[in-house]
Amino acid sequence: MSIDSVFVHKMWNDHELSKMVQGGVPFPMMSDGGGKVGSIYGVYDEDAGVETRGRFIIDPDGVIQGFEVLTPPVGRNVKESLRQIQAFQLVRNSKGTEATPSGWKPGKITLKPGADLVGKVWEVWKTEMAFD
């Protein structure tokens, strides 16, 4: 979603993005002229008249599970967004019985918060795990 019109979205997709991604952009390229939607999400920069790089992860109940907002010159890390979605999906599928510690990615250990784990995280989770 950006402040560009749907016509500009079409030109950008048809003439540039479709050269980067086969078949073009597969999801809706939404238009937010005037920044009304960006304003309620807190990402519309009124002085510049554009949206900042806001990214919101919304679950199947319509609840915001996470967001990240960057100023325009720095791009996002799509891998990290995917990792977060996988983590939120795991937590949801476990009905909240499992949590993903720092550095978690698919295949790594999860934690089961409860009385048994209090003061014992150091036994099952090592600091290096946050970095690999």
Partner 1 sequence: MPEEFKPGCARPTGGPVGEALIQGETKNNEKPKETAAMIKVGRKAPDFSAPAYLKGKFVNINLSEYLGKWVVLCFYPGDFTFV
- Where do contacts with partner 1 occur on this chain (CB under 8 A)? 1-13, 16, 24-34, 36-43, 48, 50-67, 72-76, 81, 85, 88-89
Distance CA 54, CA 6 (A): 19
- Tell me the β-bridge partners of 3: none
Cβ closer to partner 1: 77 or 124? 77
Query: Which lies closer to partner 1 via its Cβ, residue 40 or residue 118?
Result: 40
Q: Which is nearer to partner 1, 30 or 124 (CB)?
A: 30
The separation between CA 73 and the C-alpha centre of its own chain, rounded to angstroms, equals: 18
Q: How far apart are CA 76 and CA 53, in angstroms?
A: 8
Copy the structure tokens of residue 22: 């086969």
- Torsions phi, psi for 77 (to 5 deg): -110, 105
**Rounded least distance, CB 132 to partner 1, Å:** 25
Query: Which CB atom, from 17 or from 111, has the smaller least distance to partner 1?
Result: 17
